[in-house]
Homo-oligomer: A and B are copies of this chain.
Amino acid sequence: MKLNIALLAGDGIGPEVIDQAVKVVNAVANKFNHEVNWTSALTGAAAIDAVGEPYPDETHEVCMAADAVLFGAIGHPRFDNDPKAKVRPEQGLLKMRQKLGLFANVRPTFTFPSLIDNSPLKRERIEGTDLVILRELTGGIYFGERGRKDDGNTAFDTCTYTRAEIQRLAKLGFEMAMSRSKKLCCVDKANVLESSRLWRETVQDMEKDYPEVEVSYEFVDAVAMRLVQWPSSYDVIITENLFGDILTDEASVISGSMGLMPSSSIGLHTSLFEPIHGSYPQAAGKDIANPLATVLSAAMMFEDGFGLKEEAELIRSVVNKSLAEGIVTEDLSGKDKKAYKTSEVGDWLAANI
């Protein structure tokens, strides 16, 4: 098969972790006789520095022409504490999501038995946790009208949702629930927000099309609690953009395997695969960042982007082997054991494919 992959390394540790995923993908392609066509493009602070824009048109064209996008991370601290900065790396991310129509962010949270004790939560609380949050990614307050009034002394943001946007995301949620445990939880703030009431109403209307799926409705504040108390009680969660931002990040730390969690963003034009961690600028250039989340994102790309399940499973089994044999970066090695470099982990994985 011919695999056209756009490669967006981004900022911070992005390029380093992406490099390892490339090694692994090439090794898999080699083994299964696929032909990979990589096209790199600029994004984030790196793109601002080069062309003054975090998601340049050339990058967009590269993504549109690709079968899938493999993404590192973006963001740079030099923009963070400057509320008046005109161009921000994150704007690139938002523009990319919108222009590629990446309407659903799929974020699994699961546990690796060997890492379960890294969790801040007690073992008995997280054992068996295996949930997926489907976050709506191109609507809501992220993309509504915003601005200032009264000489800049009043600021506003608008959260808007249409029934069609909700249906599109919820449909994925129902289908995913059907392929898993048939449990779906819709998270909103319907006791306050009109947009949440439209979410609830829309999902309630769809229930009849999926009579086997048991649907529950919970408020976002309650879910923020229960995710810490009983994460294993959730299976598929669907929610709007901002709630999804908060809850996916919260969920990511409970498993103790944050550095391993992949994600995908399903799009109208193409789909994107990326680790859930950020650009982690403090570690950039040190060859110490954990590449496994990016490598597992590449596995998701094979399975969900190309429909190549065997390839995906092979990557996952090699990752499990690296964990079992302790071929891991310093965040996972523990005090007394040898920590491998980012590049060494990538080499080892590729060699073991």
Q: Which residues of A contact B (CB under 8 A)?
A: 80-81, 83-84, 88, 90, 94, 120-122, 125, 141-142, 144, 146-148, 150, 152-164, 189-195, 197-198, 200-201, 204, 217, 220-222, 224-225, 228-229, 242-243, 245-250, 252-254
Most interface-central of A163, A221, A243 (chain B CB within 10 A): A221
Q: Are B144 and A83 in contact (CB under 8 A)?
A: no
Provide the residues of chain B in CB contact with A81, threshold 8 Å: 200, 217
Give the Cβ gap from A106 to chain B, nearest Cβ, in Å.
Answer: 17
A252: nearest chain-B partner, CB-CB: B225
Whether A198 touches B250, Cβ cut-off 8 Å, given contacts A81-B217, A120-B122, A191-B90, is: no
Provide the residues of chain B in CB contact with A158, threshold 8 Å: 156-159
Q: How far is the CA of A154 from the CA of B190 in the complex (A)?
A: 15
Q: Are B254 and A157 in contact (CB under 8 A)?
A: no
Q: Are B80 and A193 in contact (CB under 8 A)?
A: no
Q: Are B159 and A157 in contact (CB under 8 A)?
A: yes
Provide the residues of chain B in CB contact with A189, threshold 8 Å: 242, 245
Q: How far is the CA of A193 from the CA of B158 in the complex (A)?
A: 9
- 16 example contacts (A-B, Cβ-Cβ < 8 A) are as follows A80-B191, A83-B200, A90-B192, A94-B192, A121-B121, A121-B122, A122-B122, A141-B159, A146-B195, A153-B162, A153-B163, A156-B159, A156-B195, A220-B245, A221-B249, A225-B250
- Select A141's contact among B153, B193, B217, beta carbons within 8 Å: B193
- Select A155's contact among B153, B157, B191, B198, beta carbons within 8 Å: B198
Q: How far is the CA of A121 from the CA of B121 in the complex (A)?
A: 4
Most interface-central of A162, A189, A194 (chain B CB within 10 A): A194
Provide the residues of chain B in CB contact with A90, threshold 8 Å: 191-192
Give the Cβ gap from A68 to chain B, nearest Cβ, in Å.
Answer: 25
List the 3 shortest-distance A-B pairs measured between CB atoms, nearest first. A155-B198, A146-B194, A224-B250
Whether A120 touches B228, Cβ cut-off 8 Å, given contacts A191-B88, A192-B90, is: yes
Provide the residues of chain B in CB contact with A144, threshold 8 Å: 156
Whether A204 touches B253, Cβ cut-off 8 Å, given contacts A146-B194, A157-B193, is: no
Q: Are B228 and A246 in contact (CB under 8 A)?
A: no
Q: Are B146 and A193 in contact (CB under 8 A)?
A: yes
Provide the residues of chain B in CB contact with A247, threshold 8 Å: 224
Most interface-central of A142, A225, A242, A246 (chain B CB within 10 A): A246
Q: How far is the CA of A120 from the CA of B222 in the complex (A)?
A: 15
Q: How far is the CA of A50 from the CA of B194 in the complex (A)?
A: 26
Provide the residues of chain B in CB contact with A204, threshold 8 Å: 83
New A-B pairs, 17, CB < 8 Å, besides A83-B201, A121-B121, A156-B158: A83-B197, A120-B122, A120-B228, A150-B162, A152-B198, A153-B163, A154-B161, A154-B163, A154-B198, A155-B161, A156-B159, A157-B195, A159-B159, A222-B249, A224-B224, A225-B250, A225-B253
Give the Cβ gap from A165 to chain B, nearest Cβ, in Å.
Answer: 9
Q: How far is the CA of A90 from the CA of B197 in the complex (A)?
A: 14
Q: How far is the CA of A220 from the CA of B220 in the complex (A)?
A: 14
Give the Cβ gap from A177 to chain B, nearest Cβ, in Å.
Answer: 18
Give the Cβ gap from A220 to chain B, nearest Cβ, in Å.
Answer: 6
Provide the residues of chain B in CB contact with A190, threshold 8 Å: 83
Q: Are B194 and A148 in contact (CB under 8 A)?
A: yes
Q: How far is the CA of A192 from the CA of B146 in the complex (A)?
A: 10
Most interface-central of A125, A150, A204, A242 (chain B CB within 10 A): A242
